[in-house]
A = this chain, B = another copy of it.
Amino acid sequence: MKRILISLIIAACAVPAMCAGTVKSIPFSSVDITDGFWKTKQEMLKTKTVPAVYDRFSETYRFEALKCELSDKFDHHIFWDSDVAKWMEGAAYVLQKERDPKLEKIIDDSVAQIVKNADENGYFNSCYLTKDPQHKFTNRNNHELYCAGHLIEAAIAYKNATGKDEFLKAMCRYADYIEKVFKIEQSAAFVTPGHPELELALVKLYNATGEKRYLKLAEFFIDMHGNNDAERSAGANYNQDDMPLKERSTAEGHAVRAMYLMCGAADVARLRGDKELFAACKRVFDNATEKRMYVTGGIGSISGSEAFGIDYYLPSRDAYAETCAAIALALFAGRMQAMEIDSKYADVFERALYNGILSGVSMDGESFFYENPLAIDLAFGDDNRRHAATQRSKVFGCSCCPPNIVRFIPSVADYMYTYDDDTLYIHQFMNSEMNFEGISVKQTTEYPADGKIKFVCDTKGRKIAVRIPGWCRDYTVSVPYELKNGYAYIDNTKEFTVNFKMPVTAVKANVNVHDCAGRVAVTRGPVVYCAEGVDNGKNLSNVRVNIKGSFKTEPSEFLLPAIKTTGYKDPDSDSLYMPADKKYEKMTLTLIPYYAFANRGETDMNVWLLAK
């Protein structure tokens, strides 16, 4: 059956300027992170996280499931292929830097199963093929296209890393079949993916193969989303089905689905120069990040539906803030920075990166948060109200977050640089060397431990635009510059230094964020800090911090310094209610980076401290 496009009515709004297809990104494969914070994190990822997640997925039969055989040991699950695919994608990113026959064998064996068990059309989903092959593509919510997207991303990554193209060929066949069923014949029982992700994968597939039909298929899904009779449904914002993307102005529904879909939309907007779609992306980005984002870059405050709350609904203790959602927001921000020169995109990327994404993985690299609360009160653990997890787990039933960490950390440099004919844009700061088609930049820095960065560049004559982070109110640049859209524009220069001063800064939230009223989050550079019970005792919600007080940094076990300051607490009392006074007990308050919370046993934690 043919589907009808309900409307392409465009929201009446000013269409912003966009860099239509002229700005390009430099891939992580051209960036070597040589030392410092990110080298440590990437080493941890390679040596601990990749093997740990593989072991957990093996123990839980996720790899064995690829054989597509019924088993009495386990029951296939509709989203298991995506878990394995994300792990393979991350492993491929590791291989891109350093080949490893053992790791390749795991992937080769998995690819062999996928190739062997795909059906005659190239379709692959281990759960449907094993349990219910007659009903493929009948249930929009059953994650087949989501799994397909992740398999495609993994196949591209593996081809890039190793040159082996069997996986990619199989996925091209699968994509061709999807095109046939969903776009050409329109014979599937639904129109667009219930869990978006395939859209952005198809754009990647177009970039990897040059085959325009994959881009067209991505466009088809983006244009049809919320824009066809069969699926459009007023109020059904969980899957973004309530309106065409071009009409959207707020970030709604399931946060990961919303952000993955917006990634695909941003890609499509950029590649076809679609200013109206770009305007929608901008509106959604602004709403998500200026009204509905935790100070940690976490998004999706509502548990249960894993969804965006209404504006300013950002509860700390009951925060959902899924690790995958923070990653998805970073991916979206990374795409937006290639369309519009505005430092807010890289600012959001950086906020998510150093806080709500890194908090998703333990310091030993082997356990993970699905949800990332901003406060833990163990005293209230056993009442009947939901509270977020207080400890990381090694694996989950729905284990999307661990392999998302696996693929995100090794490819983090994907979002450091963009360029056009005139300018090289430097968005993120890591001790590293980039070499890409004759362009090179060497950053020497201890960032984010320190804000001083020395740049040695060869831009092939281009100007250089260095992001001035939104958190930074005091900085120096060693050469003349012009500030524009949050970037310091510097004439082509071989060598220069910037110094972003990084004083400890107490940050407050908008007055509408009721859970943060009267409270501040202590930050240093891009890093949000928190107080843990193991350092500071209980009743952290009662700890006051003097926002004009003295803060000292000192070495910690968590890569970045700890912060010490004087805290103030109401004294304990036997009374339940008593006349208020201003007599506080002083205490030494120790704050650690938020990303490092819950690494020393189960303990209270609080990001938002009372302001004194």
Report the bound CA distance from A305 to B383 in whole Å. Answer: 11
Chain B residues lying within 8 Å of A544, measured Cβ to Cβ, are: 518
Report the bound CA distance from A290 to B304 in whole Å. Answer: 34
Q: Are A570 and B511 touching (Cβ within 8 A)?
A: yes
Residue interface bits A514-547, CB-to-B below 8 A is 1, else 0? 1001111100000000000000000101101001
**Residues of A in contact, count (CB < 8 Å):** 61
Residue interface bits A370-389, CB-to-B below 8 A is 1, else 0? 00000001011011110000
Q: Are B571 and A517 touching (Cβ within 8 A)?
A: no
Residue from B473, B511, B571, B582 in contact with A569 in the complex, judged by beta carbons closer than 8 Å: B511
Q: Are A542 and B383 touching (Cβ within 8 A)?
A: no
Report the bound CA distance from A305 to B548 in whole Å. Answer: 45
* CB nearest neighbor in B for A315: B385
Chain B residues lying within 8 Å of A476, measured Cβ to Cβ, are: none
Report the bound CA distance from A385 to B510 in whole Å. Answer: 21
Most chain B CB neighbours (cut-off 10 Å) among A512, A573, A611: A512
Residue interface bits A568-592, CB-to-B below 8 A is 1, else 0? 0111111111111110000000000
Chain B residues lying within 8 Å of A509, measured Cβ to Cβ, are: 576-577
Q: Are B309 and A507 touching (Cβ within 8 A)?
A: no
Q: Are A610 and B289 touching (Cβ within 8 A)?
A: no
Chain B residues lying within 8 Å of A511, measured Cβ to Cβ, are: 539, 542, 569-573
Chain B residues lying within 8 Å of A77, measured Cβ to Cβ, are: none
Chain B residues lying within 8 Å of A380, measured Cβ to Cβ, are: 310, 313, 514
Chain B residues lying within 8 Å of A572, measured Cβ to Cβ, are: 510-511
A452 an interface residue at 8 Å Cβ cutoff?
A: no
CB distance from A430 to the nearest CB of B (A): 24
Residue from B290, B382, B542, B580 in contact with A547 in the complex, judged by beta carbons closer than 8 Å: B580
* CB nearest neighbor in B for A514: B541
CB distance from A214 to the nearest CB of B (A): 37
A508 an interface residue at 8 Å Cβ cutoff?
A: yes
Chain B residues lying within 8 Å of A571, measured Cβ to Cβ, are: 511
Q: Are B309 and A383 touching (Cβ within 8 A)?
A: yes
Most chain B CB neighbours (cut-off 10 Å) among A312, A506, A511, A576: A576
Residue interface bits A538-561, CB-to-B below 8 A is 1, else 0? 010110100110000000000000
Most chain B CB neighbours (cut-off 10 Å) among A295, A312, A384, A548: A384
CB distance from A411 to the nearest CB of B (A): 27
CB distance from A473 to the nearest CB of B (A): 7
A505 an interface residue at 8 Å Cβ cutoff?
A: yes
A291 an interface residue at 8 Å Cβ cutoff?
A: yes
Q: Are A507 and B580 touching (Cβ within 8 A)?
A: yes
A302 an interface residue at 8 Å Cβ cutoff?
A: yes
* CB nearest neighbor in B for A515: B541
Report the bound CA distance from A350 to B313 in whole Å. Answer: 36
Known: A539-B514, A541-B514. A379 touches B508 (CB 8 A): no
Report the bound CA distance from A314 to B582 in whole Å. Answer: 23
Q: Are B384 and A305 touching (Cβ within 8 A)?
A: yes
CB distance from A146 to the nearest CB of B (A): 23
Residue from B304, B517, B577 in contact with A507 in the complex, judged by beta carbons closer than 8 Å: B577
Q: Are A505 and B579 touching (Cβ within 8 A)?
A: yes
Interface of A is mostly: loop
Residue from B384, B473, B574 in contact with A304 in the complex, judged by beta carbons closer than 8 Å: B384
A203 an interface residue at 8 Å Cβ cutoff?
A: no
Report the bound CA distance from A307 to B544 in whole Å. Answer: 32
CB distance from A303 to the nearest CB of B (A): 9
A293 an interface residue at 8 Å Cβ cutoff?
A: yes
Report the bound CA distance from A506 to B582 in whole Å. Answer: 11
Residue from B507, B514, B580 in contact with A520 in the complex, judged by beta carbons closer than 8 Å: B580
Report the bound CA distance from A183 to B313 in whole Å. Answer: 55
Most chain B CB neighbours (cut-off 10 Å) among A318, A377, A383: A383
Chain B residues lying within 8 Å of A517, measured Cβ to Cβ, are: 539, 541-542, 570, 610
A249-289: which residues lie under 8 A (CB-CB) from chain B?
A: 289
Q: Are B313 and A575 touching (Cβ within 8 A)?
A: no
Known: A310-B379, A511-B569, A511-B571. A302 touches B384 (CB 8 A): yes
Q: Are A290 and B379 touching (Cβ within 8 A)?
A: no
A377-405: which residues lie under 8 A (CB-CB) from chain B?
A: 377, 379-380, 382-385
Report the bound CA distance from A304 to B383 in whole Å. Answer: 12
Residue from B289, B315, B383 in contact with A310 in the complex, judged by beta carbons closer than 8 Å: B383
Chain B residues lying within 8 Å of A379, measured Cβ to Cβ, are: 310-312, 512, 514
Chain B residues lying within 8 Å of A385, measured Cβ to Cβ, are: 302, 315, 318
Q: Are A518 and B542 touching (Cβ within 8 A)?
A: yes
A448-470: which residues lie under 8 A (CB-CB) from chain B?
A: none
Report the bound CA distance from A474 to B595 in whole Å. Answer: 51
CB distance from A236 to the nearest CB of B (A): 14
* CB nearest neighbor in B for A302: B384
| Contacts A/B (CB < 8 Å), 30 sampled | A290-B576, A295-B577, A304-B384, A309-B383, A310-B382, A312-B379, A313-B380, A377-B514, A379-B514, A380-B514, A506-B580, A507-B578, A507-B579, A507-B580, A508-B578, A509-B577, A510-B576, A510-B577, A511-B542, A511-B569, A512-B539, A513-B576, A514-B542, A517-B539, A517-B570, A518-B518, A518-B610, A521-B577, A547-B581, A547-B582
Contacts from A to B (Cβ < 8 Å): 289-291, 293, 295, 302, 304-305, 307, 309-313, 315, 318, 377, 379-380, 382-385, 473, 505-514, 517-521, 539, 541-542, 544, 547-548, 569-582, 610-611
Given contacts A318-B385, A508-B570, 14 further A-B contacts (CB under 8 A): A290-B576, A291-B576, A310-B379, A310-B383, A313-B383, A505-B579, A507-B577, A509-B576, A509-B577, A513-B576, A517-B539, A517-B570, A518-B519, A547-B580
Going nearest first, the 8 A-B pairs with the smallest beta carbon separation are A508-B580, A514-B541, A518-B610, A517-B541, A506-B580, A517-B542, A520-B580, A547-B580
